[in-house]
Structure 1
Amino acid sequence: MNLFQPFLQTHHDPFLKKKICVVTGTRAEYGLLSNLMSLLRNSPDFTLQLIVTGTHLSQKHGMTVNEIVADGYKIDEQVFLPFSGDTPLNTALMAAQALDGIAHAYSRLAPDLVILLGDRYEIASAAFAALYLQIPIAHIHGGERSEGVIDEAIRHSITKTANLHFTATELYRNRVLQLGEDPKRVFNVGALAATSIQNTAFLSRHELETMLGIEMQAPLFAITYHPISLSYEDTKQEITALCEALKQFPQATFVITGTNADTGASVVREILEEFVQSIPRKQIVMCENLGHKNYLSLVSHADVVIGNSSSGIIEAPILKIPSINIGDRQRGRMRTPSILDCSGDITEILAAIQLALNHQFRQSIKNTPSPYGNGNTAQKIINILQQTDWSSNSLKKTFFDITSVT
């Protein structure tokens, strides 16, 4: 039976609903998945199952599971991870615990398909658990590159476990094909971030100020910096240089978001906290978790997004906001002219900020098209899933050599 043979005409029978399990481990990932989850929850064809793990369940990282509950989602399983440190060994042990916990969750839930997004270690564990339990996997955001972090290897590993692929651009689709995946199972649907932006009612500037408890004096800098998991020294050098560069803008408002739980996160958190304490004024705030709507609202009002988060590569350009990308963490991802790359050198960071604030530069990026789709990504995924039959044959994979790919 072909993977994309449509369901029988009786597939609207509620007893034949396909159980689709979404696994989420971070606030950013959930923000991207939420619109797709909403469509799955309301579909006559599917039953949504939800496994929550990772930093969602960590007090240190803001207990973002509360946001999921507030959005009205039923959480079927919670897999707790012990965030006792951020060394490579800690990460490996948490990945092992995630594999154990998620495998048991799958065993209880018996999903027909698992949906995974991205490239984090707990998502890799979720992928391998599904592989061992012979559950088909749909992977979102494969084929991308981020050569400064271990996510690069994790992402491609997940691709090889997956049976269905939803990429954000045609270039990324071609990379998945290079990994030997069946062209009939690889779809360029655009980025879920485009759907999220299209469907989010942003807070006004005044509402955002009230929520943050600050007066957002121009220029407004939205700052998100994550560790470079392959280099502790580069992480420390870059975040230090960034803080020194920011001190050269005494009139600016700084809104800093919390770092993730990757290897080296503690040094980022420590240096940022020292930076905030060193600037005794009202135009600076550090938030562990803004929530997806609040974060997108912040980016929409920002004069510039600064750091090394993927939001500076995808969301900021969609919103026509200049972004400054520091170092190699996002090296390899597609660029638009609104993204200013620089090293972790204070001089280069300062020059990039000055250019981002330049009126002529800002005007020049207003009509730059985004390569990440027109905002209907979630619905495209649903449409494809509705045409998919998950039989035992869907687990059988043939490696397609690049010469045979059409």
Structure 2
Amino acid sequence: MGKRKVCVVTGSRAEYGLLYWLMREINSEQSLALKLIVSGSHLETNFGDTYKTIEDDGFKIDASIQLKLKDDSPLGVSRSLALAVKGFAEALGTINPDIVVILGDRFEVLGAAEAAMIAGFPIAHIHGGEVTEGAFDDSIRHAITKMAHLHFASTESYRDRIIQMGEAPDRVFVVGAPGLDNILNLDLMDLKSLSTSVGIDLNRDYFLVTYHPVTRSKKASSCAARAMIDALKRFSKASILFTGVNADPGNAAINRVISHFANENPARVKLVPSLGQVRYLSALKYCLVVVGNSSSGIIEAPYLGIPTVNIGERQKGRIRASSIIDCGETSEEIYQALSTALSKKHRNISKKTTGKYGAPGASKRIKDILRNINLENILMKKFFDIPLSI
């Protein structure tokens, strides 16, 4: 019997960082053969050409799917999704995998799920069952759950939600969050090396900021980004390290706002399109506070004892640790949240906080299941009904 072909799909730098150790695990398993499809912002110069990082890490890219992400309007992203379905159908037809691994809720991977489901390739979905009410990612995540045949949930409550959606309990596994494997396994940089690498002095106090579009809000996300920057300006003694905006609708306007702020304050403000996992986690380890609306502030930051100021509703619905402060999108609300996060009391709370997403080791747990699971009748799905009580 030949090796089981496991096809991993990645469409963004953040997603790849979460999949890295799983890909390593698959590569090291004699009974499995890693196949890799790269798409989305990985192939865009303005997002850092991050496919090069994947190649530098020693992974062979079996297929690349260009999505033409220059039009960041909602209709433009819809057109990119159409290209994704077509491209993934062709790539999967060539690779002919035994199972397709998809993580999360990006629109690119929705295209992969649609193509795989229609073509009859089993889908394993990571990080299903979660809720992010402020982003259309929420609908994408739940749609992929219904197309998938195996589910790797990060917590028991998320497993319960997947089952609540009609998925059979014996196909839903609690494995923890794969991103925690980076904290366990990566050799992080010291502050001097990190400062040299990003081009700004981080030996002084600094904030780490990631702000993405809020795709379910009628208000332009760039307005909230301006309010965030107005609040950050009031902390004039701190450096500010921004990571790049993702490829969701409205990203260009946010990038312009952040770039303008960085260009006006080159001595203490820096925007880096893609930090990669080593630099990002190193920056996270030493920063005063994580600011913005990225899931890393919800999932990874508490494990390093770092406070998070979570702005707006993009992450609304996720399980939270006590280190996380939620706030509205006005400048004053953000300023007050930052002031609280920087207080001695809250910093002590953050240092003692317990992460809510399990223990590291998710990648190995997922690999073991992918190796051992019987795929013979995996495409046959029955809706699992549970008693309804409202």
TM bucket (normalised to shorter chain) is over 0.9
Equivalent residue number for residue 150 of structure 1: 136
Give distance in 2, aligned partners of 1:229 and 1:59.
Answer: 23
| Among 109, 128, 142, the residue aligned to 2:114 | 128
Give distance in 2, aligned partners of 1:142 and 1:325.
Answer: 21
1:175 aligns with 2:161: yes
Give distance in 1, aligned partners of 2:291 and 2:349.
Answer: 19
| Among 358, 363, 385, the residue aligned to 1:373 | 358
Structure 2 residue runs without a partner (length 5+) = none
Equivalent residue number for residue 22 of structure 2: 36
1:246 aligns with 2:232: yes
When normalised by structure 1's length, the TM-score is 0.94
Give distance in 2, aligned partners of 1:375 and 1:130.
Answer: 29
Equivalent residue number for residue 199 of structure 1: 185
Counterparts of 1:54-203 in structure 2 under 5 Å? 54-203=40-189
Equivalent residue number for residue 360 of structure 1: 345
RCO greater where, 1 or 2, for CA within 8 Å and sep 6 or more? 1
Deviation at 1:282, TM superposition (A): 1.3
My pick for the range that moved more, 351-360 or 16-25, is 351-360
Counterparts of 1:256-275 in structure 2 under 5 Å? 256-275=242-261
Equivalent residue number for residue 4 of structure 1: none
Q: Is the 8 A contact 1:191 1:377 kept in 2?
A: yes
Paired positions, count: 388
Deviation at 1:237, TM superposition (A): 2.2
Q: Is the 8 A contact 1:166 1:188 kept in 2?
A: yes
Give distance in 1, aligned partners of 2:252 and 2:218.
Answer: 10
Equivalent residue number for residue 374 of structure 2: 389
| Among 379, 384, 387, the residue aligned to 1:400 | 384
Please give the secondary structure, in 2, of the residue aligned with 1:22.
strand
Deviation at 1:96, TM superposition (A): 0.4
1:164-187 deviation per Cα after TM superposition (whole angstroms, max 9, x unaligned) = 000111111111011000000001
Give distance in 1, aligned partners of 2:103 and 2:238.
Answer: 35
1:178-226 deviation per Cα after TM superposition (whole angstroms, max 9, x unaligned) = 1000000001110001112111111011110111122114321000000
1:341 aligns with 2:326: yes
Instruction: Give the letter aligned to residue 395 of structure 1.
Output: L
Deviation at 1:233, TM superposition (A): 2.1
Q: Is the 8 A contact 1:217 1:283 kept in 2?
A: no
Give distance in 1, aligned partners of 2:195 and 2:224.
Answer: 29
Please give the secondary structure, in 2, of the residue aligned with 1:269.
helix
What's the Cα RMSD here?
Answer: 1.1
1:293 aligns with 2:278: yes
Equivalent residue number for residue 12 of structure 1: none
Equivalent residue number for residue 204 of structure 2: 218
| Among 283, 295, 298, the residue aligned to 1:313 | 298
Deviation at 1:234, TM superposition (A): 4.3
Deviation at 1:80, TM superposition (A): 0.7
Deviation at 1:232, TM superposition (A): 5.3
Structure 1 residue runs without a partner (length 5+) = 1-14
Deviation at 1:370, TM superposition (A): 1.1
Instruction: Give the letter aligned to residue 348 of structure 2.
Output: Q
Deviation at 1:45, TM superposition (A): 1.2
Give distance in 2, aligned partners of 1:331 and 1:402.
Answer: 26
Give distance in 2, aligned partners of 1:394 and 1:41.
Answer: 23
Change (3 A) 1:85 1:232: farther
Give distance in 1, aligned partners of 2:358 and 2:217.
Answer: 33
The 4+ residue runs of structure 1 with deviation greater than 6 A are none
Please give the secondary structure, in 2, of the residue aligned with 1:50.
strand
Deviation at 1:372, TM superposition (A): 1.0
When normalised by structure 2's length, the TM-score is 0.98
Q: Is the 8 A contact 1:217 1:252 kept in 2?
A: no
Give distance in 1, aligned partners of 2:217 and 2:181.
Answer: 34
Q: Is the 8 A contact 2:159 2:172 kept in 1?
A: yes
Give distance in 1, aligned partners of 2:275 and 2:222.
Answer: 24
My pick for the range that moved more, 223-232 or 143-152, is 223-232
Q: Is the 8 A contact 2:195 2:203 kept in 1?
A: no
